[in-house]
Amino acid sequence: MKNKKVLAILMAATMLASCGKTPVEESSSSASDTTTSSEPSVSIMDVGEGTYTDLEVGSVFSFGTYNGQAINWIVVSKEFNSCEILALDCIDVLPFAEEECRSWRESDLRDWLVNDLYVNAFSSEERMRIDIPDIETIPELHEDDVIYLPSIDDLSRYSDLLEEYPASEDWWLRSGVAYLRDLGDICTAEGEALENETDVTETHGVRPAMHFYAGDDQGNLEHNGERYFENYRLWPSDDIANIPAGALLRFGTYNGEPVDWIVLSKDGIYIEIVTMDVIAELPLDEDGEYGSWDDATLNSWLNSDFYEDAFDEDEKARIEAAHYYATEEEANVYLLSEEDLASNSYMLANNPASGEFWLMSDTDGVDGTSDVSSEGGTLLPDGRAVDETCGVRPVMKVYCGADRVMLGEITPTPVPTEAPTPTPTTAPTPTPVPVVFENEYVTDLYADYEYMASDRPYHVPHINIDSEDAASINAEILEIMQRPISGYETNGYPHMYCSTYSMFLTDNGLLTIVFRLCGEWDDDDYYVWTIDVNTGARLSNSEIASAAGVTDIRAAAVTALSEFCNRRYNYADNPEFIPVFINGELNSESPRYESMSDPEYYAYDEMQASFSEERLNADMCIGLDSDSHLIFISRVYSEAGSSSYNYCYASDGQQISPSF
C-alpha cells in the first residue's frame, strides 16, 4: 500500500524532479475555449443524481469543471451501470512528457491526469462516481489510473463516435512510448491514428477517458469516495518527506479528533498547510480593541492553547524546524491573509470549508473589523467586527526533511574549543585515503533514505557543528537528495542508484566533504563543501585556495586535470608512457597527438571544452584533502565517446571516488 501511495503522488505547481508537472490551475489555456465540444449543435443531456442511470452509449453529459468550464463527456460503452466515457473534446494542450520517458506510467501527462485533474476538477460527490478501470481488459493501466488516455487499440471501439464528434485538434494516446522512448502515438482531430510519429515533448490535445459509475448503489459510491481519500489525499504521515502540494496531511489532534490539513505549497524541505475545515468558532479579538494581528487574542490562542494541546513533541519539532528555516511569521500558527486567498484561490475553491473564516489582514479603512473569507476562499466585503465569532482555519509551515538535528533526534557534537597545532607540509604526497570519522563532525543519515535503494546504499552526510553555515550546508544536502526522492515518487525508482561521500580533515581543522550521487549511466553528480570545525564558518574558494597555498585556481586545475587525463592513458603505471597532456595542451611528442589534434577526432570538441575557462575557473567546485592539497570537480570528456562526465580528482591527478 505504501508503494502505491508513493506512486500516487499529488503534484501541483512545484516540480522536484526530473519531470515537470502542469497543475490544473496554471496549465496552458490554449484549449480552454474548447473544453466543451467544438460542435455547437451537440445536445448535452441533463443528468444528475437519480438520472445517471439514463445514460446510454452516445449520450453526452457534463461532469466536472476545468478552467472555469464544464467538461462534457461521451459515453463510449456501457455494461450494466458501468460506463466508459471520453471527453467530448480536448480539455487542454500539453506535452506527453517534459523529457524522454519509458512508458505511459512514467509520463508527466499521466501524472497530471491522475494527481492533478482528478483531485482538482471534480467535487467530492463527483469523485464518488469515478470507478477504477478494468485492468484485465485494458492493457497498460493500473488501479490508480482513474483518469487515463485511450490507446491506439481503443480507437477501433470508438471509431463511429470519433467520426461523429471530431476533436478540435490532434490529441495524445497513451500507447507508443513503451517501444520508442522519444515517440508517442496520437489521434488526429478526425479520429485517425498516427503511430510512433510524434516527439513526446511536443504539445498536443488532451482528451481524457475514465470509467464512470451510473448506478445508485450507495455502498459503491462510498467505496469510491474512501478510495480517493485514502489513496490520493490522505498522505501517509511516515512519508512526509515526499508529500507534494495538494495532498492531505493528518497532523495533530484537536478536541479528540485528528486534524486534516491541505498542503498549499512545498518549498524544498518545508510545506505550508491550512486546515481542511474550520476547527472552532471564535472572535478575532475578544476585547474589540483590535490594533493588529500581533495583538489579537486569536493569535495568542492559536500559539498557546491550540498549539500546546493539538501537537505532540515530534510534531512541534517539525513546526519549529520549519519556523527556523522558512517562515517570516513571528508565530508558529497563523491565518491566511487577503493575499493568500488570491495565490491559493483554486486550492481553496476546490476544498471549501463548512463556514466563513477569519483572515489576519485588516479590513481597509474600517476600525474594529477584519477580513473574512467565504467558505470557498472569496474575500467578503466589509469584513466582520473583531469581537464577533467566526470560523478559525489555522495555517502553519511544517518541516518535511530528515535532518535529525533539526528534529531533535540527535544532539550536535560541540565544536572543539582549541584548534590543533598546524603541521606544515612540503612536497606533494600521494592522495590520502578518505577517512570516515567516528561521527565526530558528521552523522550518516543513511537510514532516512534506505527505502530508496534496492541493492546499493544511500549514505547522506549531516554536519554536527552548531553554526549557521553548517545548517545551510545541511539544508543544501537535503535539497540535493530531493532529486532521487523525486525520481522514486515519479517512476518507482530513484534514477540515482546510490549516494556516497568522503571526508578529509586537515591538521588545522578544515573539513571537506565530497558528496556523490551515482547516476544510472556513470554520469555521477559531485558536490563539495569545506567548513572550519573550529569556527563553524564555510570557506570560500579563495580561502580554500589560500589554505592550499595556491594563487591561481584555474592554473592548478589545468595541471591537475592534465595529470588526471594522463592517468587514464596508463601514465601512472607505465614509466615509459609519454604524457598526452602537458598543462592542458596536447603534447606533440605523444603518439596520440596526431589523431587527437585533428578537429575530426570524435571527442575533439568535448576535449577542448574540458580544459576551457568555462569549466576550470576560480568559481569551480574545489575542496581540500587531508594534506591541504586542492581537490577539483569538473566535467571531463570521455575517451570512449563524444560525451562527458563529472569527475572528482586530486592535485596529482588521482581520481577520488567517495566510498562511504
Cα–Cα distances in angstroms (integers) from residue 22 to residues 112, 113, 342, 345, 404, in the given order: 6, 10, 19, 17, 33
Query: Are residues 351 and 242 located together in one domain of the fold?
Result: yes
Give the C-alpha separation, 358 to 371, whole Å. 6
Q: What's the half-sphere exposure (Cβ side, CA atoms, 13 Å) at 624?
A: 27
Q: Which residues of 97-113 are buried (b: 16+ CB within 10 A; e: fewer)?
A: bbeebebbbbbbbbbbb
- Examine the domain organization and report whether 185 and 255 are in the same domain: no
Say what the pLDDT of residue 520 is.
56
Whose grid coordinates read 464544464?
70
Grid coordinates given for 643: 560525451
Residue 225: predicted pLDDT: 65
Give dist(CA 396, CA 261) in Å, integer.
10
Residue 329 pLDDT class (50, 70, 90 cuts): low
Phi, psi of 61 (to 5 degrees): -145, 165
Amino acid code (one letter) for 197 = E
Least confident of 152-156, 157-161, 497-501: 497-501
Structural domain total, the chain: 3
In this structure, the answer to whether residues 163 and 270 fall within a common structural domain is no
Let me know if residue 414 belongs to a domain.
no
The region of weakest confidence among 363-372, 412-421, 430-439, 467-476 is: 430-439
Determine the longest span between alpha carbons in the chain, in angstroms.
Answer: 91
C-alpha cell at 422: 598546524
Give mean pLDDT, residues 502-523: 81
Burial degree of 612 (CB within 10 A; 0-12, 13-18, 19+):
exposed
Domain identity same for 525 and 638: yes
Quick one: pLDDT at residue 226?
65
pLDDT at 169: 94
| Phi and psi, residue 391, nearest 5° | -65, 150
Cell digits of residue 620 = 569551480
- Shared domain for 486 and 513, answered yes or no, is yes
Residues 11 and 86 in one domain: yes
**DSSP, res 458:** B
30 pLDDT more than 50: no
Domain limit, last residue, from 203, 228, 253: 228
pLDDT on residue 124: 74
In a domain, 158, yes or no: yes
CB 18, CB 487: distance < 8 Å: yes
Q: H or E segment at 607?
A: helix 604-610
356-380 pLDDT per residue, tens = 999 988 766 567 788 899 998 999 9
The residue type of 312 is D
CA of residue 422 relative to chain centroid, distance: 44
**Most trustworthy range by pLDDT among 324-338, 390-404, 551-565:** 551-565
pLDDT of residue 350: 76
Examine the pLDDT at 154 and tell me if it is beyond 60.
Answer: yes
d(CA 133, CA 118): 14
pLDDT at 305: 94
Strand order in the sheet with 280-283: 280-283, 389-392, 357-362, 369-373, 384-385
Q: Average per-residue pLDDT in the chain?
A: 77
Instruction: Tell me the C-alpha distance between 420 and 444, whole Å.
Output: 25
Q: Position of cell 504539445?
A: 203
Encode burial over 356-376: b for 16+ CB neighbours within 10 A, e otherwise: bbbbbbbbeeeebbbbbbbbe
Q: Which residue has the higher pLDDT, 163 or 290?
A: 163
Residue 255 located in a structural domain = yes
Please list the residues that pair with 86 across neighbouring strands: 74, 209
pLDDT tops 80 at residue 410 = no
Query: Is pLDDT of 11 > 70?
Result: no
If 0-12 CB within 10 Å is exposed, 13-18 middle and 19+ buried, where does residue 130 land? buried
Question: Could you tell me which of 313, 357, 368 has the C-alpha nearest to residue 334?
Answer: 357
Q: What pLDDT was estimated at residue 573?
A: 52
Spatial CB neighbours of 519, under 8 Å, sequence gap ≥ 6: 495, 496, 497, 525
Q: Are residues 247 and 210 in the same domain?
A: no
Which of 207, 228, 249 is the last residue before a domain boundary? 228
Helix/strand/coil for 488: helix
Question: Confidence band (pLDDT; 50, 70, 90) for 20?
Answer: very low
**Same domain assignment for residues 158 and 270:** no
Q: Which of 147, 168, 41, 174 is nearest to 86 (CA)?
A: 147
Q: How confident is the model at residue 389, as a pLDDT?
A: 95
Please write the tens of the pLDDT for every residue from 468-509.
899 889 888 877 776 665 554 444 445 555 677 888 888 888
What's the pLDDT at 567?
79
| 207-244 pLDDT tens trace | 999 999 988 877 777 777 666 655 555 676 767 777 77
> Is 484 in contact with 507 (CB distance < 8 Å)?
no
Kindly state the DSSP code that residue 379 receives in the 8-state scheme. B
| pLDDT category of residue 587 using cuts at 50, 70 and 90 | confident
Q: Which residues contact 69 (CB under 8 A, 6 or more apart)?
A: 32, 35, 36
Mean pLDDT is lowest, of 313-317, 361-365, 415-419, 559-563, for: 415-419
pLDDT at 416 over 70: no
What pLDDT does residue 230 have? 56
Measure the CA dihedral 274/276/282/288, to 10°.
40
Residues forming a β-bridge with 515: 501, 527
Average pLDDT over residues 459-464: 83
Same domain, 189 and 278: no
Range of the domain at 319: 236-399
Q: What is the pLDDT of residue 206?
A: 96
Q: Is residue 485 part of a domain?
A: yes
Same-domain pairing of 321 and 455 = no
Question: Do 584 and 616 fall within a single domain?
Answer: yes
Quick one: residue 129, left, alpha or beta (phi over 0 = left, psi -120 to 50 = alpha)? alpha
Phi-psi category of residue 429: left, alpha or beta, with phi > 0 → left and psi -120 to 50 → alpha: beta
Residue 34 has pLDDT above 70, yes or no: no
Q: What is the CA radius of gyration of the chain?
A: 30
> In what side-by-side order are the strands of the sheet with 209-213?
60-66, 69-79, 82-87, 209-213, 130-131
DSSP3 helix / strand / coil % (the chain, rounded to 5): 25, 25, 50
Beta-carbon neighbour count of residue 253 at 10 Å? 14
In terms of DSSP bridges, do strands 234-235 and 248-254 run parallel, antiparallel, or are they unpaired?
parallel
Mean pLDDT of 537-552: 94
Q: Is residue 252 part of a domain?
A: yes
Q: Please report which confidence band the pLDDT of residue 516 belongs to, taking 50, 70 and 90 as the band edges.
A: confident
Confidence of residue 412 (pLDDT cuts 50, 70, 90): very low
Structure confidence at residue 66 as a pLDDT band (50, 70, 90)? very high
In this prediction, residue 178 has a pLDDT band, given cuts at 50, 70 and 90, of low
Tell me the Ramachandran region of residue 566: left when phi exceeds 0, alpha when psi lies from -120 to 50, beta otherwise. Answer: alpha
Shared-domain flag, residues 347 and 478: no
Establish if 183 belongs to a structural domain: yes
| Rounded Cα distance, 182 and 100, in Å | 5
Per DSSP, the three-state class of 645 is strand
Which residue among 180, 196, 228 closes a domain? Answer: 228
The CATH number linked to 474 is: 3.30.565.40
**Could you write out the three-class secondary structure of 144-180?**
CCCCECCCCCCHHHHHHHHHHCCCCCCEECCCCCCCC
Residue burial 629-638, b: 16+ Cβ < 10 Å; e: rest: bbbbbbbbbb
In 281-387, which residue ranges form alpha helices assigned H by DSSP? Answer: 297-301, 307-310, 313-325, 338-343, 345-349
SS (H, E, C) 174-207: CCCCCCCCCEEEEECCCCCEEEEEEECCCEEEEC
Contact 181, 199 (CB under 8 A): no
489 falls within a domain: yes
What is the percent of the chain where pLDDT is above 70? Answer: 74
Q: Residue 342 half-sphere exposure, CB side, CA atoms within 13 Å?
A: 4
Answer whether residue 47 is part of any domain. Answer: yes
Which has more confidence, 10 or 198?
198
pLDDT in tens, 590-645: 777 777 777 777 667 778 888 899 989 999 999 999 889 999 999 887 765 557 78
Closest CA to 166 of 38, 16, 322, 73: 38
